[in-house]
A and B are shown apart, each in its own frame.
Chain A
Amino acid sequence: MSLYALQKMIFELNRSPLVQERFKTDLPRLLDEFDLDEEERGAVERHDIGLLYVLGVNGQLLMHLSALIGQPWADYLQAMRDGVAKHGPVRAGVYAMTTALDEKVAGL
């Protein structure tokens, strides 16, 4: 039950240029400050947007992390689909996927 901590980390990352700098240069120690389990920590370290989505990270937090790592919009959408294909449905929260894996409603 550390989804809260995972989202708190992304919340602070999105808000603070200082945390963004640490994200780039000092990620392990930054992550030490949050009570993350192994799966969550690995997902952040690998910039694994798909797994973070499946873990239940709110999309409004996740899309900014996606922007921070320079992911184009189409790649962001595909990363989430790939995450669901690999790990199964979203496990928590209110941002579940309701379209099919091959459905691209916005054309991307």
Chain B
Amino acid sequence: MSLVFAGVSSHAPGITGRSHLAPDAAHRDEFYAAYRRMGEAMMATRPDAVIIVAAEHFANFFMNNMPAYAVGMADHYEGPIEDPAWLGIPKTRIPGAAELSKRIITEILQSTDVAYAEEWKFDHGVMVPLSFLTPKFDTPVIPVNINCQGPPLTPLHRAWAFGEALRRACDSVPERIAVVGTGGISHWPATPDSGKINEPWDRDFLDRWSRNDRAALLNYNDVDIYREAGQGGFEIRTFLAVAAAARGQGHVWFYTAAIPIFAVGCTVGVMDVA
């Protein structure tokens, strides 16, 4: 088995870009510390590459040709696409692993149709997690995008199937692979509602995720998600994919709804690879 680590985390740009506006610095730092511990735990598994399953925000993919799933296949990437001062992360070059990507994509295609991309500009969906997990940006990354922005979106059961395909692909290569899903849970980002968080909905979702309860995780629909968890809630697809890939029990290391300036319930979770 070559999947050596699985986890999930929040990626909202406010986490780094509006750090100075968080009213309770101690609580904020508790979140940051949990995020960094996740990175240390990930690196302790000695991954050769980190697959970041993110939901990007029109950095690379637009409604002229929107893939439901895309996987990067380059030897290096660049990011952030956002203004570095706005995001609080300097522009940098991030190593990729094109040849490994190619083998993984080839295997995924056996069961799931994905697009590949030989260029990819990382936005906050990848850069914010990397700034905590691999702060030197020195571990090869393979970016994955699930379209959670421009409907029609891939159904949840397909996100699950994609996670299963990702696992089969990881198992087919000798390299040690870590996978991290980033996004959601409930939030209404980039709207006047920014900061609204449905904490009970989040905690119920995280309970389902921690139990890796496939039926419960697929028992959502986008109409309800939009109403109860906002358009940001569509990003649970990344958490579902990780659960399908890891197959084990999840452990939520940190969750708070008490930093609304970050526009999301701040989450750090790891999952046993089974």
A interface residue numbers (CB < 8 A to B): 4, 7-8, 11, 14-15, 53, 58-64, 67-68, 73, 77, 80-81, 84, 94-99, 104-108
Residues of A within 8 A of B86 (CB): 67
Determine if A64 and B82 form an interchain contact, defined as CB atoms under 8 angstroms apart: yes
The one of B62, B151, B192, B196 in contact with A11, judged by C-beta atoms closer than 8 angstroms, is B62
Q: Which residues of B contact A61 (CB under 8 A)?
A: 57-58
Contact A98 to B196, CB < 8 A, known contacts A58-B149, A108-B261: yes
- Mark each residue of chain B from 246 to 257: 1 if its CB lies under 8 Å from any CB of chain A, else 0: 000000000000
The distance in angstroms between the C-alpha atoms of A81 and B57, with both chains bound, is: 22
Which chain B residues numbered 115 to 152 have a C-beta less than 8 Å away from chain A? 121, 149-151
A-B contacts, CB under 8 A, total: 86
Q: Are A15 and B121 in contact (CB under 8 A)?
A: yes
A64-B190 Cα distance, complex, nearest whole Å: 9
Contacts of B13 in A (CB 8 A): 63
In chain B, positions 144-167 with a C-beta closer than 8 Å to chain A are 149-151
Pair A96/B191 contact, Cβ less than 8 Å: yes
> Which single residue of chain A is at the shortest CB-CB distance from B197?
A105
- A59–B57 Cα distance when bound, in Å, is 9
Interface pair A59/B189, CB less than 8 Å apart: yes
Q: Are A105 and B151 in contact (CB under 8 A)?
A: no
Which A residues lie within 8 Å of B196 (CB)?
Answer: 98-99, 105
